[in-house]
C-alpha cells in the first residue's frame, strides 16, 4: 500500500543545517513535495522534485532523492528561528491527484 514515513521531531541550533528525512513505498510516485505548516495555518508548498531528478536546490533548500531506496530529504541551510514549523513530505501519483502525506516532522530551532 501507499505509505510515507518521516521522523516526528528534529531540534537544531540557529545557524546550523537541518536535514529532514522521508521514506515512501510507492515506486510509481512521480512528484515528491515538501510542505511547511506554521501553527494554526494551512500548508505552504516549499519545493518539489520530479521522480527522475536526484537533486534540486532552491536558495537555502536542497532536496535529495534516492529513488532506489525511496528516500527523500530536505536540507535547510543556515536554519533560522523562523524555520520552526512542521514539515510534511508528500507524494502524488500522475492522473490520480491523490496526495499521500507523511505525519510531519516538527522542527525546533534554538537561538
Partner 1 sequence: GAVVSQHPSWVICKSGTSVKIECRSLDFQATTMFWYRQFPKQSLMLMATSNEGSKATYEQGVEKDKFLINHASLTLSTLTVTSAHPEDSSFYICSASMLRAEKLFFGSGTQLSVL
Task: Please state the closest distance from residue 88 (CB atom) to partner 1, in A.
Answer: 7
End-to-end CA distance of the chain: 41
Among 11, 13, 16, 45, binds partner 1 (CB under 8 A): 45
Q: How many C-beta neighbours within 10 Å does residue 16 have?
A: 13
State which of residues 53, 55, 77, 103 lies at the interface with partner 1 (CB under 8 A). 103
Give me the least distance between CB of 64 and partner 1, in Å please.
20
Judged by CB under 8 A, the stretch of 18-26, 32-40, 52-60, 65-73 that binds partner 1 is: 32-40
Instruction: Kindly identify the residues of this chain, within the stretch 72-91, that bind partner 1 according to CB under 8 A.
Output: 88
Within 13 Å, how many C-alpha atoms sit on residue 45's CB side? 8
| DSSP bridge pairs for 91 | 32, 100
Contact in structure between 24 and 8 (CB atoms under 8 Å)? no
70 three-state secondary structure = coil
Q: Site size for partner 1, by CB under 8 A?
A: 22
Does 47 participate in binding partner 1 (rule CB under 8 A)?
no
Amino acid at each position: 500500500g501507499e505509505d510515507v514515513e518521516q521522523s516526528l521531531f528534529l531540534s537544531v541550533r540557529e545557524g546550523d543545517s537541518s536535514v529532514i528525512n522521508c521514506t515512501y513505498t510507492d515506486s510509481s510516485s512521480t512528484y515528491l513535495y515538501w510542505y511547511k505548516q506554521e501553527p494554526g495555518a494551512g500548508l505552504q508548498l516549499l519545493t518539489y522534485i520530479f521522480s527522475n531528478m536526484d537533486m534540486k536546490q532552491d536558495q537555502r533548500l536542497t532536496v535529495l532523492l534516492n529513488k532506489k531506496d525511496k528516500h527523500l530529504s530536505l536540507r535547510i541551510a543556515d536554519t533560522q528561528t523562523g524555520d520552526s514549523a512542521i514539515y510534511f513530505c508528500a507524494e502524488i501519483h500522475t492522473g490520480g491527484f491523490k496526495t499521500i502525506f507523511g505525519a510531519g516532522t516538527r522542527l525546533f530551532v534554538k537561538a
